[in-house]
Amino acid sequence: MIALSTYAFAILLFPALVAVWYLRKDYASGFVGLLCLSGAVGLIFVSATLPHLFYDHERYLHDLWTAFDAANKSANGLASSVDYFSLIGPVYDWVFRIGAGLRQVDATSIPLANAIFALATLVLAVLTLTRQLNFGTLGLVVLIAVATAVTPREPDTIFAHTSMSWLAPYNRWAAALAAVVTAAFCCPPGRRGVPEAFLLGVSIAVVCLIKVTFGAALVGLLVAATVFRNVSLKHAVVVLIGLAASLVAAELITGQVSANLADLKTVSAFAKETWRIIKLITQLGEAAIWAIGSAALYLLLCENSSEPRRFTPVILILVAAAMACVILMQNHWLSQSPMYAVLPVIAVQWAGLFRKDKVVAQPGEVASQALTLNILSVAAIAIALLYPVRDGGAMVAQFLQSRQYPADDRLAGTGQAGFVVNPRRQEQPEAEVNVDYNRMLDGFNLLREAGAEEPDAGPVLALNFSNPFPSLLNKPSPARAPIWFHDGRTFSKDIHQPEDEFFSDAEFVIVGHGDQSGEALWEIYQPYVLEHYREVARSPFWTVYRKKGQDSQDL
């Protein structure tokens, strides 16, 4: 379905390529820009109004549970890092909090949050880039960013054959806004002024408050752009002022900035993950293809349009690709970065593709050079559209399939209402996603039998990779528990929360069997649980404990 929807989305954007071919001199910029901006607005609307969250992947369901718990915590007023340990910056729960204010929390709170962030990204892009870029290149950047923010697609490959996992929305958000900032620093400065420079600082701050590694890479890109004089020293200072002012304001209002830095400092004490270096090495080839290909595209466009060739765009394209590669080293997949998709857009802007006053070739060379230039122009736009077509196609597939299959009645009335697993996944009993889904329902039923659904019952703490149960029960999440547990990343045998803090408000503890994180947590906290809780239910997947003195059997 994603592949078919991707082709359908590509057909919708085909007029952009026709415009570049036939209308390049006069109307192409406006037509391409309008088409791309319309596509971006349409994707935001679809994401905000999806009736179901349709899941179609063979694994990673436990990662989706982390998003359910993040939405549930935000809806109940819990602040990340201040109230609970979090590696993710506070923007994640701020956006979910806005979503909870707009609509009751359910499974579609995730696509709603994506839509909210995508809309904010669109506004920031328009405000920061309008005076710098041609309308056509502005539209391309916006479409790349918005499609990245809203897509449910598993981002492990550039091709459209993978399925929908809704994995780690915060990574998509950071990558989307990073694409906008990359375009601003690497495209010609145009009429960029102090207000735009300040807003770029705000944008980097937002990225830092989602995932600090993305923000650090953008600061590095700013330094490179300043060194090569694509950003004036004055504007670079204004960008840094905007960045600092935004972080200070966020800290004064919420206190979450310093708290998140403290959590990140805790993580730095864990053993280093050598696989990240391996990850970097595996990505070097793809980064090189995008960088060298985009630089070559720029030089060929200049050669066939008599545009003077410059050193600056080539070096900035190479630096941007390197920054994108370093960012991807922090994640679990390849080909995710929309910063790669922005590289040919940078080439197009520097080559003056949409500029009406372009220098033309001498009369004797017009025919052959014009044909070559048209072909190169279409190729440039087509390459830039690879990512938004891929990710927009996934959103189209989500729209169609969310209407094809009914929601699971067993989740009706819960904080995960509207969650649909593709029926074909459930036809495979041993499939990881099916096992996880059945585990979730099994634990939900055990907790209801144990009284966790009662109006006066307290929070449920899961010793498991993630905790879907507070949202299922429409109950507040445990105040001090993070949204996921990953041995060696969010806790370890030597570095973990004290028992009195960790279990401070948990009336129920549900221990996952066969879950690596759950087993590691049980090894750490078993003595405390057995001393203060008693077993009330058990299944092959879970054991449920309730705090002693909390039910009639203990009175």
112 neighbors 102 (Cβ within 8 angstroms) = yes
Closest Cα to residue 548, out of 525, 530, 523?
530
Q: From residue 108, how far is each of 53, 68, 191, 493 by CA, in Å?
A: 6, 10, 40, 36
Is the per-residue pLDDT at 65 higher than 80? Answer: yes
Q: At what angle do helices 338-350 and 135-150 cross, to 10 degrees?
A: 180
Is the per-residue pLDDT at 507 higher than 60? Answer: yes
Closest Cα to residue 211, out of 180, 244, 172?
172
The whole-number average pLDDT for the span 308-327 is: 88
Confidence of residue 555 (pLDDT cuts 50, 70, 90): very low
Residue in the structure block whose two tokens are 């998709």: 341
The whole-number average pLDDT for the span 165-181 is: 91
Higher pLDDT, 381 or 5: 381
Is the per-residue pLDDT at 212 higher than 50? Answer: yes
The whole-number average pLDDT for the span 349-368 is: 65
Is the per-residue pLDDT at 361 higher than 50? Answer: no
The whole-number average pLDDT for the span 438-446 is: 96
Residue 290 CA neighbour count, 13 Å, CB half: 31
Least confident of 227-241, 308-322, 368-382, 414-428: 368-382
189 neighbors 236 (Cβ within 8 angstroms) = no
pLDDT value of residue 286? 79
pLDDT value of residue 356? 60
What type of residue sits at position 218?
L
Domain ranges, ordered by start, for the chain: 2-52+107-398, 424-554
The whole-number average pLDDT for the span 415-438 is: 89
- The reported pTM is 0.93
Q: What is the pLDDT of residues 184-197, one digit of tens each?
A: 999 999 999 999 99
pLDDT value of residue 218? 93
Tell me the C-alpha distance between 219 and 215, whole Å: 6
Is the per-residue pLDDT at 483 higher than 60? Answer: yes
Higher pLDDT, 401 or 26: 401
